[in-house]
Every structure is written in C-alpha cells, then in structure tokens.
C-alpha cells in the first residue's frame, strides 16, 4: 500500500467513525444512504490497496502455506515440526544403529534392508484385466470402505477385488463378476 492509498483509506475510515458517532435511532434515510455510500467507498479503497492473497493460516512464517485444521495457527508446516518435536520428546532422539566396523557383506546387514510391509490393494475389473483403482492402503478396513464407496459412485466398475500384499499376493475378496469384454466393436468382424 502506497502513501496516497494509506491516506485516502485513513480519511474514509475516520469519516465512517464520525458517522457511527452521529447515528441515532431516528436518523433519516438520507443520512443512512450517505453512510452506505461512504462504506462502499471505503471498501473500494481497501480492495484497491490490498495486493496479496488473503492468508490461509495465522502463521507469520507461512501465511499462505498449507492448512491443518487441528493446528492452533492452522499451519501444516509448523504443526508438522511441532509434532516431530513432541515425538522426539517422548521417544527420544533418533538413534543410528550402525556399527563403526565396515560391513563384511556387499549386500549389507539386516538393519540396512527394508522390512516387509503389508498393504491392501483395491483393484477394479476394466473389462480386460484387473487394475489398481486407488492408493494402496495400510488398513484392510479402510480399503474395504474405499471399495464400498467406489461401488456406490456414479460410474462403478463391473467388479472389484481386494488384494493382500505381503511379500506375496493373496486375493481376499471379490465384489461382482469379472467378464472379459471385447474392446473391438461388433466382436472384431
């Protein structure tokens, strides 16, 4: 906001303050229309002087950062930093379990290899094959809820299935009947 905008806005707001002091219960309509025009003029001046977007958070460091509704300042970045600090307070600092000796094997030691992870994969039948239809989930119940919502959606697939992935794959449940559909019109004549 430049000096001229600041001066004009200050004058308009002081005028509104004077109107507020002079209003009574029996003020005439002409006076109220004058107040309305002055309020519109002050809003136009304010709109002209505001150049940046409205802040999405109350954080002075990240005013337009991502929002976390549970944070007191609505800032996801700062709340993530605070949560990490609280975890470190309870769990202690992260400790590296590496030994000072060189690793004898070129494949590394047990702690260097990732541990197996289990996931539940929601898949849909597209008429030709099974394809992943959502993000792999860490919770089976959440994956089943996702498939139930997809089945109720505006364009449900012919069939869905839930695959359990844990170093190998296992089909847990199938919804619907997968039927092979020829993608060529008229049966590829």
pTM, full prediction: 0.35
Q: How far is CA 1 from CA 20, 55, 86, 153, in A?
A: 26, 16, 40, 49
Structure confidence at residue 173 as a pLDDT band (50, 70, 90): confident
Structure confidence at residue 151 as a pLDDT band (50, 70, 90): very high
Query: What average pLDDT does this structure show over 131-147?
Result: 89
Beta bridge partners of 67: 75
């Amino acid at each position: 906001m430049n000096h001229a905008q600041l001066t004009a806005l200050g004058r308009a707001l002081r005028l509104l303050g004077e109107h507020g002091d002079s209003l009574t219960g029996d003020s005439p309509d002409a006076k109220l229309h004058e107040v309305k025009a002055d309020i519109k003029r002050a809003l136009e001046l304010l709109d002209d002087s505001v150049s940046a977007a409205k802040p999405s958070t109350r954080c002075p460091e990240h005013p337009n950062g991502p929002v976390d509704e549970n944070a007191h300042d609505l800032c996801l970045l700062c709340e993530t930093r605070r949560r990490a600090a609280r975890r470190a307070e309870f769990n202690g600092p992260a400790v590296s379990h590496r030994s000072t000796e060189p690793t004898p094997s070129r494949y590394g030691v047990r702690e260097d290899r990732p541990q197996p992870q289990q996931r539940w994969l929601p898949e849909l039948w597209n008429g030709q094959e099974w394809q992943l239809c959502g993000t792999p989930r860490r919770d089976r119940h959440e994956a089943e809820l996702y498939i139930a919502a997809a089945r109720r959606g505006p364009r449900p697939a012919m069939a869905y299935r839930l695959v359990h992935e844990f170093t190998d794959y296992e089909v847990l449940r199938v919804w619907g009947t997968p039927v092979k559909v020829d993608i060529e019109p008229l049966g590829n004549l």
